[in-house]
Each structure stands twice: as C-alpha cells, then as structure tokens.
Amino acid sequence: MNKKWVLISLLSIGIIVIVIGLIGLNNDRNQDSSGDRSQIITPNNTIGVGSDRSVRMLPIPPLLKDENEDQSIADFNLVVQQGETNFYNDVQTPTLGYNGSFLGPVIKVKRGETVNIHVENELSDSTSVHWHGLEVNGTEDGGPHQVIDQGTLWEPSFMIDQQASTLWFHPHVIGTTATQVYYGLAGLMIVEDEFSDKLNIPKGYGVNDIPLIIQDKSFNKDGSFSYVNNMMNGVVGDKILVNGAITPTLNVSQINMRFRIVNGANGSSFNLELSDQTEFHQIASDGGFLEKPHADHSLFIAPGERAEIIVDFSKYKEGEVINLQSGNKLIMTFVVGGKEIDTTEIPESLVEIKKMDESEATSIKTIELDGMGHMVSLNGRKFDMNRIDDQVELGAIEIWEITTTSTMMGKMGHPFHIHGTQFQVLSRNGKEPNANEKGFKDTVFVGPDEPVRIIVQFRNKGVFMYHCHILEHEEAGMMGQLLVE
C-alpha cells in the first residue's frame, strides 16, 4: 500500500505541473450541469469497463450487529482493512473497507442510546473514523485529532442525541483522507427515533428502505483504481459506483421505495433524475426529515450531502426499466417487477421543525472559500492543525455567511461542511433557500456568486473541523477548526 501512495503523490505532482498550465477558463465545472434531459441512457451503452457488460446487481451493505444485549447500550466492532474487490471482468482491485474489502456495514442506532464503537486499524497506514453529521463531543468526532495508528484500537463512546437521519462515516486524517475514501473507506450510520418509528413510510432495511452510496472512480487497465487529481474540482472518475458496484441494477416491486442517498464522491456533484422525468419525493436532508415531502424530478447532491427520497414504483408496469441518471451519466437502473401489497404512504407532513431564531445569534461570521485545485484557502488561510481558527462558547448560536470568491483561475462552488452540529439554511443568494434545504443540514453547497447564510448552534464541546467537502480541497487546506467550550 505504501508504495502506492508514493506513486500517487508522484503522479499528482506531475499532474499539477500539467494542469496549472491548463487552468484558466474553467467556470463552475464542479456542478454536473451537462444534463440533456431528452437523452435517456440505456444500461448497455455506458455500463461496464472493458468488454464486460454483464448486469451487476446493487449490493446492500449489511447492518452491523450490536454486540450488547442491553436495549439502551450498543457495542459495535469495526475493523479497517485492506482487501481486494472484483468490480468487473475477473480483475481484482486493491481496495480498503470496514469489516470487508470495500465500503462498510451500516451502523443503526436509536436516539437516547449509548453507543460504544471499537475500531481496529489493520491498515499499514494510520486512519481515523469521523462520524459525519453526528452531534458528539470533539474527542469522539473522529477528525484529524483522533488518529488511529496502524495496529491500534480507538474506542469512542457517545450518546445519540439528535433526530432520525442518515449519517455516514469516513476517514479524516491529514494527507490521506481523500485517497482512503477513494479506495473504499465509507459507511453509513442510520439514526432512528420515535418519529421515524411512527411514520408510515418504507422502513424495511434492504427491502423498501435502501441506501445508495454514490461515488465516481476511474480504473487502470490492470483493474486498480486510478486516483488522478485534476487539481481543480477534486478527483473525478469516469465510472459510477453505487454501494460499490458499477452502474448496478435493482429489481423493485410496484411499491414505494425509500432511498437513502449519500454523495460519497471525492469531488463530484450529481444532479439526480429518473430517465422518464417522473417526480419523486424528498423526505429528508442531511440532518433528518423535512417538514413535509418535497416533490421534484431532480435532486442536486454535492459531496458529503445526503438525501432520502421515496420513489413510487406503482406508477410503472412490470418489465419497465427506469434509470437513475445525472446529466448524461448513468447512475443505476431499476427494473420493475410485479404488484405487491404496499401499506406505506408518502405522508402529508413528516416532522415539525422549529425555526432557529436569528435574534438569538450572538455573532455573525464570514467564511470565504477561495480558489480551486491546490490554490485553495479558507478565509485566506490554509489549514493548520496547530492553529485554532475560531472559538465559540458552548451552546452559542451563530450566523455564518459563506461565500466563494473568484480568482484569476475562475470560480466554482464548494460544499461546505461543519462537524458536530446540524444547522439551518437562512438564505441562498439573499433569497429563500431551496425547498429541500429547509430541514437540518451539515453540508451545504455554496455556488459561485451565491452566498449562503446559515444559523448554527454548537451544543458539543471540543475541537471541530469545518471545510469544503471536495476532499482534495479539504486536503489542500480549505479547512479550519473551531474550539467549543
């Protein structure tokens, strides 16, 4: 593995030199806005690598077993490991995974539960496991300050104190976050609560409640991943993987299906839509349910963001094939099966969301996301592990105004993420936020010339990161840290 990282670094340096020459006219390439809506992609024209065109079924990540019999305490074991994964033909790709060779299991927890996680690092490198979206103290957050050295154990323990939501976990070590995620380290955490229990929405995990971890990757001829940093928008791949399978297929009955979508890509945003432009309902954003389902026929999702949607397949006939696509890229395919009794519904309303009060904010801060590629900074500075950029009193409510600045290289959008909290979006470019941004979020896309104001409360102590979730930008320094005490 170590040799590989060296190689990757050398390669990257070479590419910096080339790309710096090419940078210039780029404008907002981060968004996948190539969407030609009339184009419907059939699985066969883009599926597969090389000559392999066989249908790949969508893998469903297993639920991780809670080793503690006590109803109010959960104990989970995670092993971070190296392995090999077969993505296409009969080649093996060197990969990383949690309790397996690629990606990881789903950690399902309940609000109010005490959770102990035993993380063993079997890699030949150090790693960390950051619980993205989880509201816990800084010492349990799994950021760059909780490095797990090779061969050692990390045992965070926390109480779940937030709404039902789809969170995720991934490494967060200085210098290797982006590559470790790219090679496969990412998993899902599902939080349930009394409201999610009561709602009559699809909730049979793996049956009508399906996670979709969407990533893009490139492969070398020998099957190994090709991690090529284009230095601009983060690493972009030419193959789409969902739950670790290249443009897979899922057989669905004519029922409501709930998808928990995670953009687990290093740098790519997706503009998801069904190939026939059918509307679906978004029911949750990063931090939990929206007040009411939001009907739309497309969903923009940036790196780090999550969205839960319900697709009503009862509108279709047996044998119909519908693709999930982003612009001209195929994401995955649904093949509609027979009718089935479905007692679930898309409710009129989901939860009540108390609007955070702007007048309670004790300070207004600005966050400037500058540049692209390696020339990135946050508020004019690059990340320094030994520097606390900001201090906040425990419990304080603040307004943050996040902007992107253009440079001589052009401008682009950045998905901005804060650790350890869920915030509300007050406005986007001076106007009401999008309908699907009115719930709680931990990651918000800030477009070029599109300042976003958020209101955030810091309810947990410790040191927390805030950064662009294009992992190559984060690693190049577009990150700061704040101390809550």
What residues make contact with ligand C2O under the rule CB under 6 A? 130, 132, 170, 172, 304, 417, 419, 465, 467, 469
172 contacts which partner out of ligand C2O, Cu ion, none, CB within 5 to 8 A by kind?
ligand C2O
Q: Which is nearer to Cu ion, 210 or 265 (CB)?
A: 265
In the complex, minimum distance from the CB of residue 209 to Cu ion, in angstroms, rounded to a whole number: 23
Q: For the segment 357-416, give every residue that binds Cu ion (CB under 5 A).
A: 414
Q: How many CB atoms are closer than 10 A to CB 27?
A: 11
473 contact, one of Cu ion, ligand C2O, none, CB 5-8 Å limit per kind: Cu ion
For 100, 203, 276, 299, the CA distances from 279, given in Å and listed in that order, are: 36, 20, 9, 10
Which C-beta is closer to Cu ion: that of 454 or that of 470? 470
At closest approach, how far in Å is the CB of 137 from Cu ion?
14
d(CA 96, CA 87): 13
Residue 321, SS3 per DSSP: strand
Beta strand 462-468 with 414-418 is antiparallel
Q: CB-wise, 73 or 228, nearer to Cu ion?
A: 228
Query: Binds 467, which of Cu ion, ligand C2O, none (CB < 5 to 8 A, cut-off by type)?
Result: ligand C2O
Q: Which is nearer to ligand C2O, 139 or 407 (CB)?
A: 139
Which helix (H) or strand (E) covers residue 473, if one does? helix 471-475
| Residue 239, contacted partner among Cu ion, ligand C2O, none, CB below 5-8 A by kind | none
Interaction between residue 331 and Cu ion (CB under 5 A): no
Q: Does 470 bind Cu ion (CB under 5 A)?
A: yes
Minimum CB separation of residue 134 from ligand C2O in Å reads 10
- Does residue 467 touch Cu ion according to CB under 5 A? no
Cα atoms in the 13 Å half-sphere on the side-chain side of 92: 8
CB of 278 to Cu ion, least distance (A): 32
Closest to 304 in 3D by CA, of 470, 115, 95: 470
CA-closest candidate to residue 60, choices 250, 218, 307: 250
414, interface contact from ligand C2O, Cu ion, none, CB < 5-8 Å by kind: Cu ion
For residue 321, the one-letter residue type is V
Interaction between residue 468 and Cu ion (CB under 5 A): yes
The nearest distance, CB 446 to Cu ion, in angstroms, is: 9
Cα dihedral 293, 295, 297, 298 sign? negative
Which partner, Cu ion, ligand C2O, none, binds residue 294 by CB below 5 to 8 Å per kind? none
Distance of alpha carbon 209 from alpha carbon 106, whole angstroms: 12
Nearer to ligand C2O, 374 or 417 (CB): 417
Q: Minimal distance in Å, beta carbon 141 to ligand C2O? A: 9
Closer by beta carbon to Cu ion, 217 or else 419: 419
Least Å distance between CB 479 and ligand C2O?
8
Give the nearest distance from C-beta 243 to ligand C2O in angstroms.
18
Nearer to Cu ion, 110 or 132 (CB): 132
**Does residue number 260 form part of the binding site for Cu ion (CB under 5 A)?**
no
The reply to whether 419 sits near Cu ion by the rule CB under 5 A is yes
Contacts of 410 (CB under 8 A, 6+ apart): 23, 24, 25, 26, 27, 28, 372
With CB under 5 A as the contact rule, the residue among 132, 294, 411, 467 that binds Cu ion is 132
**Shortest gap between Cβ of 464 and ligand C2O (angstroms)?**
9
Nearer to Cu ion, 56 or 473 (CB): 473
Q: Which residue has the tokens 């699985």?
A: 43
**What are the backbone angles phi and psi of residue 425, rounded to the nearest 5°?**
-90, 125
Nearer to Cu ion, 132 or 217 (CB): 132
Work out how close the CB of 478 gets to Cu ion at its nearest, in angstroms, rounded to a whole number. Answer: 5
**Using CA atoms, how far apart are residues 261 and 49, in angstroms rounded to an integer?**
24
CA 344, 348, 354: angle at the middle one, nearest 5?
120
Separation between Cα atoms, residue 86 and residue 67, nearest integer Å: 30
Nearer residue to ligand C2O within complex by CB, 202 or 287: 287
The closest of 209, 130, 104 to 164, measured between CA atoms, is 209
DSSP code, position 396: -
Angle at 235 between CA 103 and CA 168, to 5 degrees: 35
- Please answer whether residues 414 and 370 qualify as being in contact, where contact means their C-beta atoms are separated by less than 8 angstroms: no
CB 153 within 8 A of CB 125: no
Binding site for Cu ion (CB under 5 A): 132, 414, 419, 468, 470, 473
